[in-house]
Amino acid sequence: MVDQTSVSFKRDLSEWRIALVAWRLLILQAADPAVGAGMHEHSTYRAHPWRRIEHTLGSGRRLFYQDADTLRREVARLNRAHKRIRGEMPDGRAYDARDPATRVWVLLTLFECVAAMRRLGGDPYDADQLELAYREFGEAIAAFELPEEELPKTAADLPGYFARYTAEKLEFTEAARYLLEDVLREAPRPRRLWFLGDAGWRVLRVVVAAAIRELTVADLPPTVRERLGLVRTRQGALLSVLLHRGAGIVVPRLPERMRYRSPEERVAPPRRLRPQRRDARGSRVDRFFREVLDQTGDGVITVHDLRAMAHNVCWQLELDEAAEARVYAAFDGWWEQLRAAMDADGDGEVSREEFVAATLAGCDRDGAYLERGLLPALRAVFTAADTDGSGFLEFDEYRAVFGGPRVHPAELSHGFRQLDTDGDGRITVEEFVGGFTEFFTARADSTSGAQLLGRP
């Protein structure tokens, strides 16, 4: 009999070595056609990869490291978010993020990657330990109320499950290809690496992207590599051995405070607040399109970009279903007015050229875009953030929606003061709407607006 105290899935999940299999996890998940289609249409991973990762890590903390009530609320929040992730794949197949088989795959890849981390590091679970870890994992995900027939009953059933799912479902989706080949080569500089400067980051990300690709392909299960048409190179195999075995020797010998990630969110270092650029208005509008409105990073604005903004607001505030529906409805209305004002060729999308041309030409002469589009969306955000119904945003309420692990307190205070124009320590709806109207019409930079969207 194995000592149960010697095995803990949650503890292993929080070990720093998990970073070595993080990209492997993303590829396994994105290779599911439903996940890949949802990421391509709805996710902000192209334009805001670091925010997407932070949301994922934050959700994991709530699922595995917090109390039962936090777990329940997080599952409810995920259920509400996934309800809106559905559509059609390029080949016409329907997809829905609430599909039980897809949800089981996503969750089980997390368990499989923890087991792979141990195996690749030279300290694999034995059969009894694997069963104990799987039992602990099952207790943590019970709140999802997944169909019993979809979940393998024991850890011994996992290899058969993964083989079948790989053969029957996995594809080298566009999302998986982009994650493996391009996203790190294009990713904006993380704020924690501010000291590198843009030039230093451009050099470093090429090296990092190549290394992560080689490591990820080398570490994928052979059946998955074969299914996706990927080839493990000698360099990748050597890199895998060096990194995993080296970490397997070093990390377990570290003190616990250094071996494990804290479940608490850490605050990012302050960003140097730069003055507004004195470029031409056309250039600033173009930059605003790329860095703010094109949330999904596909080069056009669609309803999915506006819903990504709504998602970020709802995610921060943990709204109930009714309040969340009001926010989404307001952002959908904003999209309809934006499309009506700027979609010159009527293709249901707003290109960068259409946005720049319409903005410079003053597209809102009749006031419809503002009065029936942008302003209702801003008022919906204000109402959702005003949790005590006072008609004002106090600093704690402002922090709930605009704060987060990447926002330093000094920067948060600066954004609050930008909106609090009369300096009375609270933000009225008029101040809120006025400040964000400037931001969302590309007339001014705003720390507050940047944090609403999680800009890099």
What is the residue whose two structure tokens read 């169909």? Answer: 147
Cite the beta strand spans of 364-430 per DSSP E: 392-393, 427-428
* CA nearest to 414, candidates 395, 397, 431: 395
CA–CA distance, 311 with 326 (Å, rounded to integer): 12
H or E element, residue 354: helix 352-360
The CA distances from residue 108 to 3, 29, 150, 215, 251, in Å, are 24, 10, 11, 21, 25
Assigned token pair, 91: 């080949």
CATH superfamily to which 281-453 belongs: EF-hand (1.10.238.10)
Where do the structural domains in the chain lie, given as residue ranges?
Answer: 4-259, 281-453
pLDDT tens column, 389-398: 999 999 888 8
Q: For tokens 């990300």, name the residue.
A: 205
From residue 37, how far is each of 90, 97, 103, 138, 169 by CA, in Å?
8, 10, 14, 27, 13
3-state secondary structure of 33: helix
Q: Going residue by residue through the chain, which has 456 residues, state the pLDDT in tens, using 9 for 90 and above.
A: 444 446 788 889 889 999 999 999 999 999 999 999 998 888 777 777 776 777 776 777 778 877 788 888 888 888 888 888 889 988 889 999 899 999 999 999 999 999 999 999 999 999 999 999 999 999 888 989 999 999 999 999 999 999 999 999 999 999 999 999 998 888 877 777 878 888 898 899 999 999 999 999 999 999 999 999 999 999 999 999 999 999 999 999 999 888 887 655 454 454 444 444 444 445 667 777 877 778 877 788 888 888 888 887 887 777 888 888 898 899 899 888 888 888 889 888 989 888 888 776 666 555 566 777 788 888 998 998 898 899 999 988 888 877 765 566 777 788 888 888 888 999 999 988 888 777 776 555 554 555 444 443
CA pair distance 454, 309, nearest whole angstrom = 9
Q: Rounded to an integer, what distance in angstroms lies between the CA atom of residue 228 and that of residue 31?
A: 8
Which phi and psi (to 5°) does residue 351 adopt? -80, 170
Q: Which residues contact 277 (CB under 8 A, 6 or more apart)?
A: 284, 445
Residues 6+ apart with CB under 8 A from 291: 47, 455
- CA distances for 209 relative to 81, 205, 213, 218, angstroms: 30, 6, 6, 14
How buried is 69 (Cβ within 10 angstroms: 0-12 exposed, 13-18 middle, 19+ buried)? exposed
- Residue linked to tokens 């922090």: 399
The backbone torsions φ and ψ at residue 86, rounded to the nearest 5 degrees and listed phi first, read: -155, 160
Q: Cα–chain-centroid distance for residue 3?
A: 37
Q: How far apart are the first and last CA of the chain?
A: 50
